[in-house]
A and B are shown apart, each in its own frame.
Chain A
């Protein structure tokens, strides 16, 4: 399978977290908390997702921050196209995983059967 972005574990984690509520803009530390990914992993993933157009980022209205006494945040959001492709990619990956699991347990029922 060929996707616009290499579907590494962290990429999948980020996409799952964002797809939980695709319309919600999230700032970096928020995604870090949602996924449990450290920021050193997270920011490069976000930059890659942005580079391929799956995610958009923009500054929030500074007025909001002024009221809360903090600077404006950079918010990330799935693009419509990105959400679609991410859903398709994640579905395909779990299909493949299921199939592989089924094949393995069918081939070696006694050894690797259930717990995989």
Chain B
């Protein structure tokens, strides 16, 4: 085997790219990183998440990998990187804390448990800044940093979620994780997260209106791979229309074109054929 973060279980192309990216960041920022340990955490997480996918259709393991890459860029420790790679295993797979503890020790297990505890708090819908700061100070700052990186990657890929989930994630990002990132002085993460939250909130401003619901329902009739694009495009057009009636009219007219649009999108792309004169 060449290099520790390469080779072995033949990860898919996306994972391979992400792994190479993580290795590159570590070489640049933390040349002393324990690549063997990090690779082992990846292998265990990848094995447990095997067969699971994200909303985007990507293999689930791409998410913890991306979170680890974000943290590596912030100079996170080996333990934090391993915890990032393993952070969803105990919640989403049959992997137990006891096994985690046996294979990776108490420090990494403690971090993963801390993330799970923080998830409990955020799932209860505590979305005020005060609560966030309280949770932040109570938690290990590394746990909070992993959770912030987790939300950052979720927000980068938020377009694949249904609109109501997008709104919920974005509001919480704005109210909880942006202030938390500021608290930890993660300036670049803070600004990216704030920008993503703001675009997502404005994009979905009309998602809960009657026209928004209608357009969202119609987009669901299109081929799955194309739904997110058309839904976003249509919900975005609602912002251009000043009056509720013009938005309703837009939704109704767009509805009439959906069957034809679905047929066009289902047809295999003919490629760029030349017009024959």
Contacts and interface: CB of A to CB of B under 8 A. Distances in A.
Across the A-B interface, the 10 shortest Cβ-Cβ residue pairs: A40-B257, A71-B203, A40-B256, A53-B272, A70-B239, A44-B260, A74-B233, A38-B253, A4-B273, A40-B253
A70 B236 contact: yes
B253 A66 contact: no
A69 B239 CA distance: 9
Interface residues of B, number: 38
Interface stretch (A85-93, A97-105, A106-114): A85-93
Contacts of A24: none
Contacts of B256: 38, 40
Contact of A65 (B202, B274, B275): B202
Decide if the interface of chain A is mainly helix, strand, loop or mixed.
helix
Interface in B218-277: 229-230, 232-233, 235-237, 239-241, 250, 253-258, 260-261, 264-265, 267, 269-277
A113 B270 CA distance: 42
Interface of A: 1-4, 27-29, 38-44, 47-48, 51-53, 62-63, 65-66, 69-74, 81, 85, 88-89, 92
Interface centre among A27, A42, A51 (most CB of B within 10 A): A51
B145 to A, nearest CB: 25
Interface of B: 195, 198-199, 202-205, 229-230, 232-233, 235-237, 239-241, 250, 253-258, 260-261, 264-265, 267, 269-277
Contacts of B250: 29, 39
Given A39-B254, A40-B253, 17 more contacts: A1-B277, A3-B276, A4-B274, A27-B240, A29-B237, A38-B256, A39-B250, A43-B261, A44-B260, A47-B264, A53-B272, A62-B195, A62-B199, A71-B232, A72-B236, A74-B232, A85-B275
Nearest to B239: A70
A73 to B, nearest CB: 6
Contacts of A3: 275-276
9 contacts: A2-B275, A4-B274, A29-B241, A40-B253, A43-B257, A44-B264, A72-B203, A73-B233, A74-B229
